[in-house]
Chains A and B, each alone.
Chain A
Amino acid sequence: MKQLLAVLLFMLLPQQSYKVEVYDYDGLEPLINQKDEKVHVVNFWATWCGPCVKELPYFEKINDEYKDENVEVLLVSLDFPSKYDSALKPFIKKNNIKSKVVALNDTNQNRWISAIDENWSGALPATIIYKGDKRMFYEKSFTQEELETELKQFLK
């Protein structure tokens, strides 16, 4: 019942008040380590990051096209909190982003960058693809083709 109410409420809200959940690393951690049957694609990005914005449509595309194959995309924004209302939310709306977007706000980067992957230097964009215990980390920009090639390793 509660859930239904939440859905109804969400539908009634005007689009401008698109909500972005904000997490610190401890809050984000379960979202990037889900133990289910799905292939999870987690992309770290920001609206100010050119190469991130360029590759976002590729993530949107796999989120849409591989839905039936149990693929789920999570876009983790590293925009500054002061930009959530002025940049992040308008960006999501303008580009009609369908994948789930959350924001990570945790200034103790020295802790969580290594926790996410010890090989990550901290440069954006970065991506994780995982399913169960199988996990790959990429500190790079993708083309559509590269992203699909990597994704297909997890589909079987």
Chain B
Amino acid sequence: MKIFKLLPVMVLVFTLSAFSIVDEDKGYSVGDVATDFSLENIDGKMVSLSDFKKAKGFIITFTCNTCPYAVAYEDRIEALNKKYAVKGYPVIAIMPNNTEIKPGDSMENMQKRAKEKGFTFPYLMDKNQEIYPQYGATKTPHIYILQKSKNGNVVKYIGAIDDNYQDAEAVKEKYVENAVDALLKGEAIKVSETKAIGCSIKV
């Protein structure tokens, strides 16, 4: 009897999986409320968005040590934190990879990298790999700009930091800066979604 009840569900699941050729679920779209989390920072303390009482929002950056694209953006991520943490939009970096597949992204190596580069932002580990799928991050680096509201942290921008991963000097459009500047001024964000090549998150 039970099997008959389950059958339509099974058919549905099968049908969905048959057409689903992109591995991850879609995650958040602009306008969605993003989940808070409690993730371990490189100093051993747990960090949540709710800890940042004075923040107006966040520049959530899924990144890692081992992806050349992420590495190419390290200095720019640090510069974003220096510029915007004081204005109420700190960078929160989250390392989403499975460290068994990428030992170069272990907590120890994250600590080492942060020290070498002088990161001033929290560099958290998504140890159980439960947070990045909720956001819908598929790669490193992958940015989500959130704005605090009475309903929670609303996603305002998803995508790339800027339009040139190879050369910071040759950047024409600073997507993240433009978006945060617009939020600070209370204006509409002109470009709220962009795409960039990145390393797939290692599951």
**B-contacting residues of A (Cβ < 8 Å)?**
46, 48-51, 78, 80-81, 107-110, 113-114, 119-125, 136-141
Contact = CB atoms under 8 A, between A and B. Distances in A.
Interface stretch (B39-47, B116-124, B163-171): B163-171
Interface stretch (B6-14, B51-59, B79-87, B190-198): B190-198
A49 to B, nearest CB: 6
Contacts, number: 77
A113 B68 contact: no
A82 to B, nearest CB: 8
A31 B138 CA distance: 27
Given A80-B68, A107-B163, A107-B167, A122 B23 contact: no
Contact of B160 (A49, A51, A110, A137): A110
Contacts of B195: 109-110, 113-114, 120-122
Given A50-B202, A124-B199, A140 B163 contact: no
Contact-size category for B: 20 to 34
- Most chain A CB within 10 A, of B67, B198, B200, is at B200
Given A50-B101, A81-B166, A123 B200 contact: yes
Given A50-B202, A78-B197, A113-B196, A108 B163 contact: yes
A119 B22 contact: yes
B165 A123 contact: no
User: Which 3 residue pairs spanning A and B have beta carbons closest together?
Assistant: A123-B139, A123-B200, A113-B195
Given A109-B163, A140-B21, 6 more contacts: A107-B165, A110-B160, A121-B24, A121-B139, A140-B23, A141-B200
A107 B164 contact: yes
B201 interface: yes
Contacts of B159: 110
B196 A49 contact: no
Contact of A124 (B102, B163, B198): B198
Contacts of B196: 109-110, 113, 122
B203 to A, nearest CB: 10
B22 A139 contact: yes
A137 B21 CA distance: 7
A107 B164 CA distance: 5
B106 to A, nearest CB: 16
Contact of A121 (B101, B138, B165): B138
